[in-house]
Amino acid sequence: MAMAIDPGQTGTAVPGGRWSRLARLGSLAGGVAGNMLAEGARQFIQGKRPTVHDLLLTPGNARRLAGQLAQLRGAAMKVGQLLSMDAGELLPPELTEILSRLRADAIPMPMSQVVAALEANWGTGWDRHFQQFSFTPVAAASIGQVHFAQRKDGRHLAIKIQYPGVRQSIASDVDNVATLLRLSGLLPKSLDIKPLLDEAKRQLHDEADYRREGACMMQFGRLLTTTGEFLLPEMHADLTTESILAMTRLDGVALESLVSLEQDERDRLVSQLFSLLFRELFEFKLIQTDPNFANYQYARASRQIILLDFGATRAYGNAMVAAYRRLMRAAIAGDRDEMNEAAQDIGYFQADITAHQRQQVLDIFALACEPLRHDGVYAFGNSDLGARIRDAGMVLGRDRDFWHTPPADALFLHRKLGGLYLLAAKLKARIAVRDIALHALSGSISELS
């Protein structure tokens, strides 16, 4: 996911080697320890008896953590972003506030590092391909930054350049950040996060392969070519490498900024995104799982939605798709027994789950499917659905005996659906979600009522 950056912002070199990145994290740990000693002494003088957990999560340490992750970019910054988006209110407010900056803060590479990356991928004399190449990035994110250029034949491009060392550092960065979380006490010792960490590494390796992202982008372009509702860039294969993605430049405005657009148009756009998600799951079995608002833009002239960033594209197996089809059908019909069976097949219930915990999970599923059950237009702008889901999740999250790692497919899908709900609420969209879902499920209101 890419964020716009301040044109006047000074670039900072990305540590490219394993040891330089490890030194950054070592410096972070040392600085945090020093802050803990100083804060502990201060509180002790005041007659307080702080816990290690309290000392670790001071605002100063949180700022230090966010700053170092932003300098490292790559997997370390991505883990911080995922934490701030997924953990939500389960994290201490100081840490949540600082980590949330990682979704917006983006420090570009200096020009010298950009030139070195271009020469490494395209060789010396790389500028022979272009009439013009802008060294000022227009967007930056955890894995790469975007530049505009114009080819000799006049075609305008957007070129995403990967930060050096990102791909090689994924495994160590994820492990190191996970260790910091363990030391913080935020994660219970009984929680086995290794499967999730392994999946995170796999996903990040996929995102760091720009040839793969370009192929996924082109595949989505073919799948959506007949709809006319969406506009996607085309990959320029001759300039695309594992670390550089060259694609057609498409100019639009951020979809999330269109709060003053006519109600009917906002409703139409959000309806199209709901239809797209259901098609991705049930028809394509291929989902672009990154929920970032920056991935959606609006082409005013054609009234099309521009879709960007396909690095997080994920294929879903037949069994998982079938289980979600059953879960959604059961949720619309209000059939708790069938919801329970489908959730079991998805992998949400461990063998030792209690009956009460199982019902709490089903309650959250029912809440999340509220727009699908609503007969008629669901007004996202007037709904407190997000807060109710968050509160229910917090109650379950405080029960550390329940904590486990659901299947990665489920987590990525729920992130995408949650992001779509947030966008619909931001645009105050009024959507007949039930009708869209029924059409996607190839059912009818009569058979599910």
Share of the chain above pLDDT 90, in %: 43
CA-to-CA distance for 8 and 309, rounded, in angstroms? 25
For residues 130 and 157, give the distance between their C-alpha atoms in angstroms, rounded to a whole number: 10
pLDDT of residue 338: 93
Residue 37 has pLDDT above 60, yes or no: no
With cut-offs at 50, 70 and 90, classify the pLDDT of residue 226: confident
Report the distance separating Cα 273 and Cα 254, nearest Å. 14
Question: What are the angstrom distances between the C-alpha of 162 and each of 14, 105, 245?
Answer: 10, 17, 9
Residue 290: active-site member: yes
User: For the segment 53-108, what is each residue's pLDDT rounded down to a tens digit?
Assistant: 444 445 555 555 655 555 555 555 555 545 544 444 444 454 555 555 554 455 67
Confidence band of 184 (pLDDT split at 50, 70, 90): low
Per the residue annotation, which of 209, 290, 309, 409 is the catalytic one?
290
Average pLDDT on 187-193 reads 60
C-alpha of 289 from chain center? 7
User: How many angstroms separate the first and last alpha carbons of the chain?
Assistant: 40
Give the Cα-Cα-Cα angle 32, 12, 251 (nearest 5 degrees). 120
